[in-house]
Structure formats: structure tokens, C-alpha cells
Amino acid sequence: MPRTIFISVGEASGDLNGARLVRALRARKEASQQASATNVAGLVLVAPAIDFTEELMWKRFTPEIKREFAEKGVWARPSQYSPEPYLVTRQLIEEGRQHLLLGAMIETGCPVRILQGVQDPDVPWQHAKALVARIACDDVVLTLIKDGDHRLSRPEDIERLLRAVAEF
């Protein structure tokens, strides 16, 4: 069976879904005793916000923000991308806790490429570095883009992304 490439690009939380997809494919393979691999040639993550609701939100919220969650069930987070705030709900935080990955080794079963902007205000580059330490396979490459932001959408960033995909 030919291998396919799974690519997760765009919003950082999409990478959480990519990692969960690979984990689900591996579990399906193990359950069915298939001889074939997960059928994923590689995983490309852009500003991966694995466990973002806990690590990048809840643990960094001030006591005032946590109190607002307790009282209202929602917090209006200011957005640098829109004049409207981003509504963070208690339900998002609670559901996020059901899908945490960083507490154990992450078995992808395939090579992983990570692109991370050092100037990213939403997902610090240290978070990507911590993720690399949790990925079980040896074929993991973290590329830090010194002047890169969260979106990594400049032409040179897109070229880096295409090169990462071309490796597979």
C-alpha cells in the first residue's frame, strides 16, 4: 500500500489534531494486527500548540482570569488578529484536559518536521522544543525561524514549509 503524507498547517491547534490522528491510526493498526505501517509518511507541524489549553492558557492565566472562568464560564481574550476578542470557554479548557499528550512519550511512527517562529507571541519556541523531547522517534527536526511569527505566512516561510513536505 502506498504511503501518504499527512500535513498539518495553519493554526497551531491543528497540529494537536494531527498528532491525535497519527496516534489514532497507530492504535487502529495495533488493534487490527495489520502488517502495514500507519500509512503516514511524515508529519509537518507549524507552531505546534500541543496541550495549548493547559500549557499555554490555563497555567499562564492570572488569578483574576481564573476567577472570571469560575463566575462566567468564559473569558474574552484580546486578539492581535482581530478587533473582536477571542472567547475562551471553561468547556474548551475542560475538554482540552481530556486530550493532553505531553505527559508521556508521543509515538508518531513516522518522521516529524516542526517549523517554529522565534517571534511567535502565541506559541513560544520553548514549547516546540519541549514537544521535540516528548516525540519518541529519532527522526525529528525542529527548525527555528529567528524572525518568524505565529503564522509563518511570508513567502520564505512557505518555501520552508514546502521543503519540509518535500522531504517525505
Calculate the CA 45 to chain-centre distance: 7
Other beta carbons within 10 Å of 75: 20
Q: Whole-model pTM?
A: 0.81
Residues 100-142 pLDDT 10s: 989 999 888 888 999 999 999 999 999 999 999 999 888 999 9
Q: Is 9 helix (H, G, I), strand (E, B) or coil?
A: coil
Cell numbers placing 163: 521543503
The type of residue at 113 is: R
Closest by CA position to 80, among listed 122, 119, 123:
122
Residues 52-79 pLDDT 10s: 999 999 999 999 999 999 999 999 999 8
Query: What secondary structure, in 3-state letters, does 60-129 show?
Result: HCCHHHHHHHHHHCEEEECCCCCCCCEEEEHHHHHHHHHHCCCCCCECCCCCEEEEEECCCCCCCHHHHH
**Cα dihedral angle (151, 153, 158, 160), rounded to 10 degrees?**
-50
**Predicted local confidence at residue 10, as pLDDT:** 45
Mean per-residue pLDDT of the chain: 85
Mean pLDDT across the stretch 34-44? Answer: 67
* H or E segment and range at residue 45: strand 40-46
